[in-house]
Amino acid sequence: MLVLFVCFANTCRSPMAEAVLNHLQSMKQLNWTVDSAGTSDMNAGRSPNPHTLAVLREHGLGSSHVSRQVRVEDFSNFDYILAMDENNLSYLKRIAPEGCRAKVELLGEYRMDELDKIVVDPYGQGIEAYRRCYNQISLFCQNFIDQKVQKLSEEGDL
């Protein structure tokens, strides 16, 4: 399984989701490829936001990710491209080649109950906003991996 997370600048939400899903898939001994990108190139080549890295460290996770912009070939290289909010989803659907391999959707579609399906950008806010973002992303990623593992198991691909 190949999964790409996408937010605006690829320095807060999507690298956080990448680190979380990488951790979850390694705990389940899966061999998934997980990456992240931004719809903007404004931070290309930069490390994740310091608050993102701090919150990941609080949970024993790290990130060596370098920000990049989403590319057209990502739509043929990944099985899932998961956007953090409606603006990013709209952009992705606009640039997606017709008949692309990737399923493009909101990460928040993997929520439980009536949680808000939008992962709000914590940029410019204090560390508590990043902690809330982490908690939301963690729940969505856990639900995503549980659903995909169950489906792969039912199909005999696991």
Separation of alpha carbons 82 and 89, rounded Å? 8
pLDDT of 130-156, one tens digit each?
999 999 999 999 999 999 999 888 887
Q: What angle do CA 74, 150, 98 make, to 5 degrees?
A: 25
Instruction: Supply the mean pLDDT for the chain.
Output: 95
Query: Does residue 106 surpass a pLDDT of 90?
Result: yes
Quickly tell me which residue has 């992240």 as its tokens.
Answer: 36
pTM of this structure: 0.96
7 in catalytic set? yes
Q: Considering 13, 35, 85, 141, which one is annotated as catalytic?
A: 13
Return the structure tokens found at 118. 């939008």
Ordered by start, the domain boundaries in the chain are: 2-154
74 in catalytic set? no
Options 3.40.50.2300, 3.90.380.10, 2.30.40.10, 3.30.2350.10; CATH of 2-154: 3.40.50.2300
Quickly tell me which residue has 């930069």 as its tokens.
Answer: 46
35 in catalytic set? no
Q: Considering 35, 74, 85, 121, which one is annotated as catalytic?
A: 121
Separation of alpha carbons 42 and 68, rounded Å? 9
Residue-level pLDDT at 158: 66
